[in-house]
Every structure is written in C-alpha cells, then in structure tokens.
Amino acid sequence: MAEFTMELNEDQKQVRDWIHGFAADVIRPAAAEWDEREETPWPVIQEAAKVGIYSLDFYAQQFFDPTGLGIPMAMEELFWGDAGIALSIVGTGLAAIGVLANGTEEQIGTWIPQMYGTPDDVKVAAFCSSEPDAGSDVGAMRTRAVYDQAADEWVLNGTKTWATNGGIANVHIVVAVVDPDLGTKGHGSFIVPPGTPGLSQGQKFKKHGIRASHTAEVVLEDVRIPGSCLLGGKEKLDERLARAREKAKAGGGERVKNAAMATFEASRPAVGAMAVGTARAAYEVALDYAKTRTQFGRPIIDNQGVAFQLADMRTQIDAARLLVWRASWMAIAGKPFTAAEGSMSKLYASEVAKKVTAQAVQILGGNGFTREYPVERMHRDAAIYTIFEGTSEIQRLVIARTLSGMPIR
C-alpha cells in the first residue's frame, strides 16, 4: 500500500522556514509603514528579489513541487507576514499564471521573465480582467479586441478596473472580447508589452485594506499590439470560436472555459492559502495576548468565553488549510475538480480569515481596535479575500453548478 503522509518533507520544511524568516525579519517590520503610505513597497520587493523569493525560478520551483504544496506553503508564510506587502510581492504571479495557463512555449519564455525584471531592476506585471460594469459578471465585459489583418495587429479599446499593479506594470495581460455574440466564450487574453502607446493608468484606488498593494484602473485607447501577443495564438483562438459558434447553432451549451476562468481556477487555492496566512497571523497575536493579558487576577485565556473562541479559530484555520492542500494536490496530480474543490478551498479559507481576524480584534478589546496592534490591519486586509478573484457568492455558485452539472459561465 502506498504511503500516506500529510507531513512536509525536509526540503519543503527548509523552504517554509526560509520564507517565514523573510516574512518575520523583512515584511513584518515594514508592514505598518507601507499600510499608512498606501504605496508599492519597492524596497521590500527588491529585497525579496535579492534573496530569490521574487523571481520566476522561485515560483517555478514551488509551482512544480510534485506534492502541489509548494505554492500554498509559500503563500501562507508570506501573507502571515503582511497581506498588503505580500500581495505586492506575489501580484505579478496572477499575470504569470495567465500566460502559463493560456500561452505558447515561446510566449512563456519571452514574457514571464520580463514580468519580474532583475534584482537590480525589479518589474511587476498586471492581470486585467474586471471592468466597471463587469466584475463577477464577466459576460458583461466591453473591452474589445479587433484584429487588423493587414498589419497583423490587435487593436484594444476599453477600461479595466481593480487591476493589481495596473498602470505601473511592465507587462499587462488583458482579457478582451473578440466575438461579442458568443458571450464569455468569445473572450481572448492579450499581452501588452512595456511602453505600448495608448495604455495608461486611470484612477488609483484608496482601499480599506491591502493598502501596500497598488490597485488601479487601466485605460486602453487604440492600443495596438503584434498578432503574436494573443495568448495561445490566433489559430487556437479561431478553432475555439468556431466550436463555440457550432454549439450555439445547435442550441447546445459548451463548457469550454474562457481565458480568465482558466486563470482564476488555477489561482483560487493559492488565494485560499493567502487567507490562511492572514488568519493564522491574527490567531497567533490573539493567543499570545490572551495568555499575557490579566483581568480579574488571571489571564483572560482562563475564561471559557475567550478560550473557546481561540479553540474555534485554530480548528477553522487548520480545516481551511486542509481544503487548500487538497485542492493544490489535486491540481498537480491532474485530478479534475469534480466538486469545484478549488472554489471550495478559496470560499472556506476566505470566510475563515474574515471571522478569525474579527475574533482577534474582539479578544484584544480596545487595543485590538487601535493601530498599535496589528490585528486591526489584519482585519481590514482579510475583507478582500471574500471579494477578489471571485466573491464568496460566486464561489458558491460555481460549486453548486458543478455539483448539478450546469455549465459554469
């Protein structure tokens, strides 16, 4: 019988401890400052690049960990340090996943290195899908991509919103409508190279949490890009559109995933791991506080009202991690998400992060409500997990439709 284990191997433990050390020594001391500044923490990203954490090689090694646990382990430790700074460090990864999931080998080799730059000249990338009127409803997307056959160029027009690193990125990955008659099946993903005329940053958002991560609109006005910048190539796109048109004529639904959906499905367990990291950080602060804070002559952890909260917090964090690990293992093993296990992991971990950070604030009482203690920031940061890369409501919809056999649009 094959051995079953849930214990990390020695190599994984070393990597985990290395990332944890960086999070403790570099990220945490800078967290409050960059949260207040609401700016991209370039010096911290550069430090991450110098030690090898912000690099294509690092993420490739974790992505191809045969157990599937490399990425969730790394995400948990980085976001244990601070969610805003960690998102600035890993935000490029969503664009990189978009290229890995949909691009050709040549596109992967050409563009992903340009997303990261070098330790002496770090760069970031942005994945642009959401629009002012098309967040959860990707079928309402209006950004258009029109092919100019004579010039072998694609022309992009529209406005993207909620883009991490939007406008400051070296490389932008943009999801756009190619055939509006096909709804979500008529979308394609495009690489916008550095310095392309017509792309500009719109509004930069001042956010409730993850304030060290840059979030902005991206405006596309007659943006012309080479035909080779269509992810996957035009032949592959034409074949997919032709199949979708045939299905539409026959009156049948097609469950071919569009480019944005493929990217989000691949990244959802990783987002769950981010939420686990934030929840664990808040729980540890609350636990330490409960053991040292004295009221009525004894530590407050001696009170069942506090102790039981901590017991529930730890139980929920561990359960969330197990769902994340299961989905990550299934993905690397090539097992289909027949019950939307990726969405399950993101849904549960996100809700746990919101709940646990709120409980941490409550356990610290008035101190938890001040910026003197980090749980206030962690509580603000945790709110994003139930919103970005598919709201909790969308995750439930995906799970329900998967279970019922209905098409996921």
Q: Specify the pLDDT at position 173.
A: 97
Q: Specify the pLDDT at position 1.
A: 39
Q: Which residue has the tokens 């499905």?
A: 265
Closest CA to 183 of 248, 263, 230, 101: 248
In this structure, what token pair is assigned to residue 21?
Answer: 């050390």
Residue 319 CA to residue 390 CA, distance in Å, equals 21
Integer angstrom CA distances of residue 250 from 128, 182, 245, 407: 33, 13, 9, 16
pTM for the full predicted model: 0.91
Longest dimension (CA), the chain: 82
Q: Specify the pLDDT at position 263.
A: 54
Q: Specify the pLDDT at position 264.
A: 59
Residues 77-120 pLDDT 10s:
999 999 999 999 999 998 998 898 889 999 999 999 999 999 99
pLDDT grade for 250, boundaries at 50, 70 and 90: confident
- Catalytic site residue 389? yes
Residue 215 clears pLDDT 50, i.e. is over it: yes
Q: Specify the pLDDT at position 137.
A: 66
Mean pLDDT of all residues in 315-339: 94
The pairing of beta strand 171-177 with beta strand 187-192: antiparallel
Count the neighbouring beta carbons within 10 Å of the beta carbon of residue 360: 30
pLDDT grade for 259, boundaries at 50, 70 and 90: low
Q: Specify the pLDDT at position 3.
A: 67
pLDDT grade for 246, boundaries at 50, 70 and 90: confident
Integer angstrom CA distances of residue 123 from 42, 88, 117, 194, 237: 9, 11, 5, 10, 29
DSSP string, 27-68: IHHHHHHHHHHTS--HHHHHHHHHHTSSSHHHHHHHHT-TTS
Q: Specify the pLDDT at position 193.
A: 98
Rg of the chain in Å (alpha carbons)? 22
Q: Which of 217, 265, 376, 389 is catalytic?
A: 389
Residue 389 clears pLDDT 90, i.e. is over it: no
Residue 161 clears pLDDT 90, i.e. is over it: yes
Mean pLDDT of all residues in 131-136: 77
Residue 256 clears pLDDT 50, i.e. is over it: no
Residue 160 CA to residue 142 CA, distance in Å, equals 9
Q: Specify the pLDDT at position 248.
A: 75
Integer angstrom CA distances of residue 310 from 128, 212, 285, 292: 39, 29, 11, 14
Q: Specify the pLDDT at position 265.
A: 63
Return the minimum-mean-pLDDT range out of 28-37, 290-299, 331-340: 331-340
pLDDT grade for 56, boundaries at 50, 70 and 90: confident
Residues 340-381 pLDDT 10s:
999 999 999 999 999 999 999 999 999 999 999 999 999 999
Residue 140 clears pLDDT 60, i.e. is over it: yes
Q: Is the dihedral of CA 128, 134, 139, 141 positive or negative?
A: negative
Residue 406 clears pLDDT 90, i.e. is over it: no
In this structure, what token pair is assigned to residue 63?
Answer: 């992505």
Residue 253 clears pLDDT 60, i.e. is over it: no
Residue 28 clears pLDDT 80, i.e. is over it: yes
Residue 237 clears pLDDT 80, i.e. is over it: yes
Q: Specify the pLDDT at position 409.
A: 58
Q: Specify the pLDDT at position 267.
A: 77
Residues 270-288 pLDDT 10s:
999 999 999 999 999 999 9
Mean pLDDT of all residues in 47-54: 96
Q: Specify the pLDDT at position 254.
A: 45
Residues 169-181 pLDDT 10s:
999 999 999 999 8
DSSP string, 323-378: HHHHHHHHHHTT---TT-HHHHHHHHHHHHHHHHHHHHHHHHGGGGGSTTSTHHHH
Phi, psi of 14 (to 5 degrees): -65, -45
